[in-house]
């Protein structure tokens, strides 16, 4: 026979599930209003007023939910974050809920089938629009979860909310502001809600993020461009030399090979099937995947070097000349367990040692952000696991993220005792950062329920 407490808990969970379902029309309205703000944190792309209007909307929305002291604060990069809190019972733990309201640029001519700044329901039932998933859908998750909880009683934990305004630009405004305002965001558990499930309907925690470091490598041979017919042969071609340097970053199978970096990591969590990866990455028919080992190992547990920029003459308008110089930007993704600065040191030395023909060269260090490993145990982790599994009706899996969220490592340094967990609505079909970004409304509903269940269970100590 089930205990009285167990029956009460089941009844309370059923009430939450019903309440979240009732709130979904409002969630859609919220998301439609948010998507309409062209909140790209780059004045070259969109007027700054668009971000300001989005931030003001979020201030009002969380104030109406019941948080106190909700306001905008300017960060060192000029963007505004939004923060507020709702006190829980005395002695209750504190949970910080993170998300961001800024988005990637979107141009209708880039292949959008629907207006990018207008939330549109597709024939497949998904909701389309820039930011629908990344990350305005997660703003709506927080609002819906809090509304559902507060409709049934007081909050069981102290809740703090921080909504970033320049995450997509990578300019580090909140990263720089956080250390000096640590008490504002101090919490026992930090929910970084800016990732996603392995697939629609599969509850997933992202438990690692690769770091990133990049360098610019420039090679020079001539005082100026010269005729390729008159001087080609003995005169060294910097473009060819640079290509040789860049080619050394991968072996014949396509695995990243940087001197001094061991690249044998194994991912212990969920697999990433090759056919799904091909579809997610939009690999053309007949083109092979590169590298050895499992896909999950390659994208979550190993290094990957990518040439992300190249300064050479474009084909259109090119002339028959040997160029005096060439430049490339190389990005290196760094798996957990390796400091980004150590990886950058190895990358610099590797590139320097491969420059041929005595070409003059310079290697300039650019970005550097450490990898991150999230919590895999503790009371908050167990409460979130329980909430996710109850909301989805399936066991939790863990995955890595190939991308980087530098704020995670800032939180880790600032709050070393906090449990930090990553989840969100951004599953592979969302096509974040691309044309036709979308979100599955079922993901918003289930994650809002999971978050509400988590907050309740964490506060009750179950």
Q: Per residue in 84-111, pLDDT tens? A: 999 999 999 999 999 999 999 998 888 9
What is the predicted pLDDT for the residue at 439?
A: 98
**pLDDT band at residue 1 under the 50/70/90 scheme:** very low
Classify residue 370 as exposed, middle or buried by CB count within 10 Å of its CB (0-12, 13-18, 19+): buried
**pLDDT band at residue 263 under the 50/70/90 scheme:** very high
**pLDDT band at residue 6 under the 50/70/90 scheme:** low
Phi then psi for 217, rounded to 5 degrees? Answer: -115, 125
Q: Can you give the pTM of this predicted structure?
A: 0.85
Structural domains for the chain: 4-209+371-460 (3.40.630.10), 211-263+303-369 (3.30.70.360)
Phi then psi for 285, rounded to 5 degrees? Answer: -55, 135
Distance CA 79, CA 177 (A): 11
Distances (CA, A) of 378 to 137, 420, 458: 27, 10, 11
What is the predicted pLDDT for the residue at 431?
A: 92
CB 423 within 8 A of CB 397: no
Residue 270 has pLDDT above 90, yes or no: no
What is the distance between the terminal CA atoms of the chain, rounded to a whole angstrom?
20
Distance CA 112, CA 132 (A): 14
What is the predicted pLDDT for the residue at 442?
A: 98
For residues 282-307, give the mean pLDDT. Answer: 93
**pLDDT band at residue 7 under the 50/70/90 scheme:** low
Question: Which residues are designated catalytic?
Answer: 102, 167
- 95: helix, coil or strand? strand
Tokens, residue 244: 């040789």
For residues 137-166, give the mean pLDDT. Answer: 97
Distance CA 326, CA 318 (A): 14
Express each pLDDT in 341-390 by its tens digit.
999 999 999 999 999 999 999 999 998 888 998 888 999 999 999 999 99
Express each pLDDT in 191-248 by its tens digit.
999 999 999 999 999 999 999 999 999 999 999 999 999 999 999 999 999 999 999 9
């Amino acid at each position: 026979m089930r205990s009285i407490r167990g029956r009460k808990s089941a009844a309370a969970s059923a009430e939450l599930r019903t309440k979240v379902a009732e709130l979904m029309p409002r969630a859609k309205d919220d998301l439609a209003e948010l998507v309409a703000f062209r909140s790209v944190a780059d004045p070259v792309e969109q007027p700054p007023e668009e971000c300001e209007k989005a931030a003001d909307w979020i201030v009002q929305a969380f104030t109406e939910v019941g948080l106190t002291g909700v306001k905008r604060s300017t960060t060192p990069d000029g963007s505004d974050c939004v923060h507020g809190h709702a006190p829980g019972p005395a002695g209750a733990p504190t949970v910080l809920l993170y998300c961001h309201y800024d988005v990637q640029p979107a141009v209708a001519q880039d292949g959008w089938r629907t207006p990018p700044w207008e939330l549109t329901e597709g024939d497949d039932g998904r909701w389309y629009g820039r930011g629908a998933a990344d990350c305005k859908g997660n703003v709506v998750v927080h609002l819906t979860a809090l509304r559902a909880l507060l409709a049934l009683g007081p909050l069981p934990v102290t809740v703090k909310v921080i909504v970033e305004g320049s995450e997509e630009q990578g300019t580090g405004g909140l990263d720089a502001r956080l250390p000096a305002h640590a008490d504002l965001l101090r919490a026992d558990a930090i929910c970084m809600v800016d990732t996603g499930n392995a697939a629609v309907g599969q509850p997933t925690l992202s438990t690692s993020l690769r770091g990133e470091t990049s360098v610019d490598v420039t090679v020079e041979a001539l005082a100026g461009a010269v005729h390729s017919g008159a001087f080609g042969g003995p005169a060294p071609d910097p473009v060819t030399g640079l290509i040789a340097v860049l080619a050394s970053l991968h072996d014949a199978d396509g695995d990243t090979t940087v001197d001094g970096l061991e690249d044998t990591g194994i991912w212990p969590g969920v697999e990433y099937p090759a056919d799904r990866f091909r579809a997610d990455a939009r690999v053309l028919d007949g083109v092979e995947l590169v590298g050895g080992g499992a896909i999950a190992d390659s994208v979550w547990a190993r290094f990957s070097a990518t040439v992300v920029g190249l300064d050479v003459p474009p084909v259109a308008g090119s002339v028959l000349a040997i160029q005096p110089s060439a430049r490339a930007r190389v990005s290196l993704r760094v798996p957990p367990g390796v400091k980004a600065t150590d990886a950058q040191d190895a990358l610099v030395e590797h590139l320097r040692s491969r420059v041929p023909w005595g070409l003059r060269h310079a290697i300039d260090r650019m970005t550097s952000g450490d990898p991150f490993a999230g919590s895999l145990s503790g009371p908050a982790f167990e409460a979130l696991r329980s909430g996710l599994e109850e909301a989805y009706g399936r066991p939790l899996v863990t995955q890595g993220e190939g991308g980087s969220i530098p704020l995670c490592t800032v939180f880790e340094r600032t709050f070393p005792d906090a449990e930090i967990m990553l989840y969100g609505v951004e599953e592979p079909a969302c096509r974040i950062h691309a044309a036709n970004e979308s979100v599955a409304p079922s993901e918003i509903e289930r994650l809002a329920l999971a978050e509400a269940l988590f907050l309740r269970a964490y506060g009750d100590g179950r």
